[in-house]
Amino acid sequence: MERNEEGHERYFIVARSKKGLSRGSIGRADAETATGDLIGMVYGGGGSARSSGTVKKQDTCPLTRHQAQLLLFVSPASRRLELLRNVQLFTKICALAQEDLVVVKHKKDFQPCLVKNLIQLGKKDKPGVLQMLGFELDLVDTEHDILSKTAPLPFFSAADIVQVAPSHLNTRQPLRDSGDLDFKRKEVSRINSMPALNSHNAKKQSISNTDVSSSIQALSQYSLEVGSMAEVISLNGLTVYGVIRWIGVPEGKKNCWAGLELDNEATTCSDGTFGTKRYFTCEGNKALYVPLTNCKPDSRFLFIPNEIPKPFEPPSATLLEDLNEDVPPVAEQDVLSHLVGRMRGIQGHFNSCYLDATLFSLFTSSTAFNRMFNRSADSDEGISHILRWDIVNRLRRSGFVPAESVMKFRKQLGCKSFATEEKDPEEFITLLLKHVLHIEPLLKIRSHGELAQDAYTHQIIVEKNQVRAVPSVQQLLEMSFVSSNLKFEEIPSCLIVQMPRFGKKFKMFPKIIPSTELDITDILHCSPKECFLCGHLAEYECFQCLMDHKLQPGKIKQYCSTCNTQVHIHPSRKEHTPHKLTDPDHLPEDAPVERHQMQLFAVLCIDTSHYVSFVKYGPNPRSWIFFDSMADRCGDDKNGYNVPVIRSCPEIGDFFSQSEEEMSKADVRECSELVRRLLCDSYMCLYQRTD
C-alpha cells in the first residue's frame, strides 16, 4: 500500500456514481492500494468529513487543494462537474486576484463585480474539516464607473462566476489559501485582506476609464444577432440594455433595424409593435426599435480576453462526461442563456434537416424517449451509444451538436440512403425505434371487432368536409378515429400525429391549430366515457350524429341509455345505428369520468422540403423555442458550413392563449413569421402524457 508523502495532500472529485458516493463528491486520498483504489475520506456539507472508505482511482479526477476548496462551496454537487468541464473558465477562477473584474449571476440577473477577498468558511482547527472557499465581491456601477453602494452581497461560489475579464493591473497576486494565517475561532476568514474600496479614486487604480473604453471599443467589433445582449444610448443620453428579439427592415424604413426587449420598462416603448406592424411580442413598454448601427454588445457582461491561460487537463475526459448517466433536459430558467443563439442546437449537413428537427424535438425538453438508451446490446460504439452520448447528452450539456456527430449517427442507421438522401421524419422515427433500437410500438390501435394493431406514428386521414375550414389537431384526430372506427387500446406514453397532407407540397388545410392539450378520453377502448348530453356514464356511440348540425357538428357523440333513446326519436335520426360501447363493468351511472389528456411538446414543420421544429421547453405558456439546423451558411457550398439557430418565440404562447375561435379567424398576414410558420407549415405534432 502506497501512502501519501508527509505534508503532501491528494484531493479528488468523484466523477462516476458508485454505491454510497454521488457524482461531484469531494474527497481526500490518504493512501493508494496496489489495485488502484484510493483510501481516504469524503467531505459532506460545510467541509466536514462525512464518511471514509475506498474508491476506485479511475472513478475520480485529481484536484489541487485550492480547486477542492473552491468546488466544495458549490452546491448541488452536480454543478461542480459542470464547472470543472468548463476548463478555461475554471482555470481563470482559480487564478483570480484582488480587483479582478468578473460577471456573476445574482438574483436572476448578471452583474459585473470586483473581487474583494477570498473567503474561508469553516473552522480550521476542527479535525477532518476542509475549509470551503468563496468570494467576497463588490458590485460595479458600469455607467458611472464606481463601486455600487448597496447592501452587502452574499459570498459567491466559483460556480456563480460566469465570466472573468482580463486583468488591467501589471502585477497580480492570485488569491490563495495560506497556512500561515491565523484563522482560529473564526468561521469566516478573509485571505490577503485589503482595505475596503469605497472611493472613486481607489476604483480608478484598478479599472480606469481608458481601460473600460478600450474594452467596449473592442466589443463593438462583435457581430450582433437575434438573441444578443445589447446596449443603446437613448435620446435623453441614458444607456438602456436589452436582448435583440428581431432584426430586419421595418415597413417605411430603408436600413436594417433591431427590435430589443429591454430589461426595464420605458413609457415610449411598445409590446413588440412598430408603427402598425408587430415584429415580436413582449411585455408592454419594453420593446424598443432602433437602427442596428445604434446597437453595440452589452458592455456589462462581455469582456475581450487579452490572453488565454493554459488550462489544466483532467486525466480522463470520459470521467467528466460519464456515459452511464443521462444529462437531464435543460431547466426552463436556463434555456434562453444555454440554447438560444447562432451555432446552437444540431448542425445540419447534407440533407439532414429531417433528422435534425426530429431529434431536437424528441430530446430537447422531453424525457419520454430516454428509455431508448437502455438497450444493453450496444457496444461503446453502437448507435444507442452514439445517440445518447454524441447527440442527446451533448445537446443538453453544451447546447450544440456538430455535423460530424450527426453524420456518424446517420452512417449507423443501417441504410445508406439515410446518410445522403432527403427523408421524412416518420421514416426516420420508424427506422430508429423499430429496426435499430427495437423499441416496442408507441401506439396500439384497434378497429371495431378486430385485434389491436401496433404503430409508431398515426397518420390523420379525414375528408375535408368533415371538419372546420381551420381545424385543430383535437378535431382532426377525433374525426380520423371515428370515421375509421378506431380506438386506442391503451393510453400511449407518447403520441406522434402526422397532419393530413399529400406529399410535401400539397396541404389539405391552409392552416391547422396545434392543440396544446389533446383529450383522448373519447377515443380510448374500454374506458369510461361521459354522456354528451347529461354527463352520466355513456353506453352508446353514434357515428351518424357526429356531423349533426343541431348537436355541435364535429363533436363525438356518446350517450347514456336514456339520452340515446331520446336523441334517436327525432325523425332525422331514426335511421342512425348507434353501437354499444365496451366499458368497464360495475360502474355506477353517476360515476365521475376521468379525462385522459396529453400535452403538446413539439411541432415539426416543413416548407419547400426543409424541416424545422418548435419545442415547448417548460410549463410557462410562453416557453417556446424555434430551431432551424440550416438557418444560415458561412462560406461557399464546397468549403462552407451550415449555421444552426435557436430562437426564443414567446409569441407562440401568446397566440395559444386565445380561444380556438379567435385562433381560427387570425389573419396570418398580420401574425409574426414564426406564428405563421407554425399554423401553415405543421407536419407532425408530438404529445406526451401529462402524468
353 has catalytic annotation:
yes
Rg of the chain taking only CA atoms, in angstroms: 30
Please give the order of strands across the beta sheet that includes 296-297: 287-291, 257-262, 239-248, 229-233, 296-297
Hey, what amino acid is at 52? S
Q: Which residue shows C-alpha cell 390501435?
A: 445
List, in sequence order, every residue forming a beta bridge with 37; answer none if it has no partner.
56
CA-nearest of 89, 113, 87, 91 to 102 is 113
Degrees to nearest 5, angle at CA 316 with 310 and 321: 100
What is the Cα–Cα distance from 296 to 298, expressed in whole angstroms?
Answer: 6
Cis bond upstream, residue 441 (ω within 30)? no
Query: How many residues in total does the chain contain?
Result: 691
Helix 403-410, helix 353-363: angle, nearest 10: 100
- Residue 258 gets which letter from DSSP? E
349 has catalytic annotation:
no
Instruction: Find out whether 69 and 78 touch, Cβ atoms under 8 Å.
Output: no
Q: Which of 269, 568, 610, 649 is catalytic?
A: 610
CA dihedral 466, 469, 473, 477 (to 10 degrees): 10
What is the Cα–Cα distance from 443 to 279, expressed in whole angstroms?
Answer: 40
Residue 442 has which C-alpha cell? 408507441
CA-nearest of 452, 459, 457 to 477 is 459
Residue 38 has which C-alpha cell? 484510493
Q: Is 355 helix (H, G, I), strand (E, B) or coil?
A: helix
What is the Cα–Cα distance from 559 to 551, expressed in whole angstroms?
Answer: 12
**What DSSP string describes 267-315?**
TT-BSSEETTEES---STT-EEEEEGGG-EE-TTT----S--PPPP--S
Q: Which of 353, 494, 545, 605 is catalytic?
A: 353
Indicate which residues carry an active-site annotation.
353, 610
